[in-house]
């Protein structure tokens, strides 16, 4: 190989490495959803909201509340990093191209590392992230025009579906309908 060919090859490799390093898509998904009922509920929530105008920076959050033999899953879209303060994510999975965050109401003993959560917020909620770097985070307010999209609430007892509710209003799994 001539020096010119080697230089071109090195430049091509550098461009390729730079492109890989600048990949924007987060891939923190490390868990697979094995519960078919939960998987169907998440896919139903995605389907119900497919025509929403609000999803450009929204992420799917599954809030989990488990008591002895009963588990409730609230599946909804989060539009703000503030939701992660209310429901700190513990696990991340992926369904197709969608990242799905899981939060457990009964405990905050195990949550994502702050560095990882900051990277996620920077990627998923860039306006809030930039704002929080310039001013106090509590001065940020969400756009009042955001409609409440559909949420799916699944109640399982001993692993079997007991009830499925679909809400258009905000719902707090730890406390009921707001």
- Whole-number pLDDT of residue 44: 95
47-63 mean pLDDT: 84
Q: Over the chain, what HEC string results?
A: CCHHHHHHHHHHHHHHHHHHHCCCCCCCCCECCCCHHHHHHHHHHHHHCCCCCCHHHCEEEEEEEEECCEEEEEEEEECCCHHHHHCCCCEEEEECCEEEEEEECCCCCCCCCHHHHHHHHHHHCHHHHHHHHHCCHHHCCCCCCCCCCCEEEEEEECCEEEEEEEECCCEECCCEEC
pLDDT in tens, 149-158: 889 999 999 9
What band does 170 get if pLDDT is binned at 50, 70 and 90? low
49-55 mean pLDDT: 81
166-170 mean pLDDT: 75
- Whole-number pLDDT of residue 155: 95
- Whole-number pLDDT of residue 160: 95
């Amino acid at each position: 190989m001539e020096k010119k060919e080697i230089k071109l090859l090195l430049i091509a490799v550098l461009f390729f490495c730079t492109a890989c390093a600048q990949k924007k898509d987060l891939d923190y998904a490390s868990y697979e959803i094995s519960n078919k009922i939960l998987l169907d509920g998440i896919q139903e929530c995605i389907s119900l909201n497919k025509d929403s105008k609000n999803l450009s920076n929204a992420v799917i959050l599954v809030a989990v509340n488990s008591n002895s033999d009963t588990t409730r899953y609230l599946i909804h879209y989060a539009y703000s990093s503030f939701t992660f303060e209310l429901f700190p994510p513990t696990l991340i999975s992926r369904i197709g191209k969608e990242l799905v965050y899981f939060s457990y109401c009964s405990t905050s003993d195990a949550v994502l590392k702050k560095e990882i959560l900051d990277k996620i917020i920077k990627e998923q909620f860039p306006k809030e992230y930039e704002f929080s770097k310039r001013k106090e985070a509590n001065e940020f307010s969400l756009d009042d025009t955001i409609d409440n999209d559909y949420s799916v609430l699944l109640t399982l007892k001993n692993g079997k579906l007991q009830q499925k509710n679909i809400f258009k209003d905000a719902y707090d799994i730890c406390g009921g309908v707001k």
